[in-house]
Amino acid sequence: MNFHQPPVTFVGQVNIKVENLERSLAFYEKLIGFKIYDKTDTSALLTADGKNVLLSIEQPSDVIPKKGRTTGLYHFALLLPERKDLAKVLKHFLQTGYPLQGASDHLVSEALYLADPDGNGIEIYTDRPATKWEWNKQHVVMATEALDAENLFAEGMEGTWNGLPEGTVMGHIHLHVAELDKTEEFYTKGLGFDVVSRYGPQALFISSGKYHHHIGLNTWNGVGAPKPEANSVGLDSYILVLPDDISLKGTIARLKKIGAQVSDENGTFITTDPSGNQIKLVTAM
């Protein structure tokens, strides 16, 4: 099953703020392997296949550096089509000498972690076949173990890194939130996701269509963490893609029923989770 197309609800695009657009473009083009889809003096749209925008970056006129211990982006995660693609990325990172923050085997996936020049977190990963994921009733079994880099290298012995492959998608987003009770209500009763994993009282993972997770939510920056200032480096918003207009109307109705605000800005419906993370609701059709 493809977990990033209808009838699944998934994250289609992430929009972030940076301090210096040109510095960020150099990083996202040369190190991550994006292509520029469109560009202005203060913003850029980035793509892997030349057709679908996965990431937008913007330099606000009065931008301030990223501050710690706030809500917002923990990381966005780029899902590569094949394991050999991840092997090429790892070799590329080692050749460039750019520092990684981690490399993990999550049982359902294998992942590399790093941050952009402004501290925005990034995960690049590949999934193991869904048929090999283990489920305990409604919860998927995940862990954080050391990545077997030697085994991964063997997968990608042939070929060289040439940027992000065309089949790359925005696999998921992981957010810092202020608390989990109201957050869980918003994302499940409002947006319609299912909880598929819990890491104690500090993190939960939710998905549509029995994916291992489309969204991660944690309180690792502290319960009650404040939202960042509007002009701060970090998350601006992310786009949630719903299957069709019927799904969109149902989602809006559920959000309003639990007291969440939904606004219509030029045909795009926008809502905000209890921790101030802004979500744009669109349809795939």
Residue 93, pLDDT score: 95
Q: What is the mean pLDDT of the chain?
A: 96
Compute the distance between CA of residue 140 and CA of residue 212 in angstroms, rounded to an integer.
6
Percent of the chain with pLDDT over 90: 95
Q: Region 180-207: what's the mean pLDDT? A: 97
Residue percentage of the chain with pLDDT more than 70: 99
The 10s digit of each residue's pLDDT in 56-102 is 999 999 999 999 999 999 999 999 999 999 999 999 999 999 999 99
Fold entry, domain 10-283: 2,3-Dihydroxybiphenyl 1,2-Dioxygenase; domain 1 (3.10.180)
Q: Residue 267: what pLDDT?
A: 87
* Cβ-contact 41, 156 below 8 angstroms: no
Asked if the model's pLDDT at residue 160 lies above 90, the reply is no
pLDDT at 99 (0 to 100): 95
pLDDT at 1: 66
List C-alpha distances in Å: 162 to 48, 166, 171, 239.
11, 11, 20, 27
Task: Please give the span between the terminal C-alpha atoms of the chain, in angstroms, as a whole number.
Answer: 19
pLDDT value of position 285: 66
Give residue 159's pLDDT. 77
The mean pLDDT of 163-176, rounded to a whole number, is 98
Mean pLDDT of 138-159: 90
Whether the CA torsion 8, 79, 60, 70 is positive or negative: it is positive
Cis bond leading into 129, ω under 30°?
no
C-alpha span between 74 and 222 (Å, rounded): 13
Say if residue 259's pLDDT is above 90. yes
Does the predicted model carry a pTM greater than 0.85? yes
pLDDT number for residue 3 = 98
Q: Is the pLDDT of residue 122 over 70?
A: yes
Higher pLDDT, 154 or 208: 208
Q: Which residue has the tokens 């992000």?
A: 164
Residues 166-195, mean pLDDT to the nearest whole number: 98
